[in-house]
Amino acid sequence: MAGTVAILVARLIFGGLFVMATTFKFIDTPMTASYIAGAGFPFPLFLAWCAAIFEIGLALAFLTGAFFSEAALLAGVYVIFLAFAFHGPSHWEGNQAEFGFFVDHFTFLAGLLFAAVHGPGNKLVLNLGLRQVLATRGQAA
């Protein structure tokens, strides 16, 4: 029982973080775009919308359990990309707090990798994943 509760709480935390990040992007998309532009990326408004949509998908996967392991791996790549793009070594010289933000992304990655390997648990889960979908298609052929 304790393991099930821990897994559900972890899923709520992962999902909640991406819901919160998406909410901020939708509340002030131009601000997000300016932050992206400040990091030197082209098409900042387009990228802000892409990030918001991607984060909605991650939140749904974490909260429902559907494609959970795949989402955890994608989120891990995304989190490390964000670490280097927005908090990497070029940002440390002017603000030492950026190093702390950078390192925090790696602790988040550790949790995501653990989640990817262990899956969403067996409670409150939509049992969908890439393996299941491919296996189902293989059986139908």
Per-residue model confidence (pLDDT) at position 2: 83
pLDDT in tens, 70-119: 999 999 999 999 999 999 888 888 788 989 999 999 999 999 999 999 98
- Distance from the Cα of residue 32 to its chain's centroid: 17
Q: Does the pLDDT of residue 127 top 80, yes or no?
A: no
Q: Where does the pLDDT of residue 135 fall: very low under 50, low under 70, confident under 90, or very high at 90 and above?
A: low
Q: Where does the pLDDT of residue 141 fall: very low under 50, low under 70, confident under 90, or very high at 90 and above?
A: low
Task: Look at residues 117, 120, 106 and name the one whose alpha carbon lies nearest to residue 15.
Answer: 120
> What are the percentages of helix, strand and coil residues in the chain, rounded to 5?
80, 0, 20
Q: Is the dihedral of CA 90, 96, 101, 105 positive or negative?
A: positive
Instruction: Quickly tell me which residue has 């891990």 as its tokens.
Output: 76
More confident residue, 98 or 60: 60
pTM value? 0.84
Per-residue model confidence (pLDDT) at position 140: 58
Instruction: Quickly tell me which residue has 């262990």 as its tokens.
Output: 118
For residue 120, what is the DSSP state?
S
Per-residue model confidence (pLDDT) at position 38: 92
Q: Where does the pLDDT of residue 122 fall: very low under 50, low under 70, confident under 90, or very high at 90 and above?
A: confident
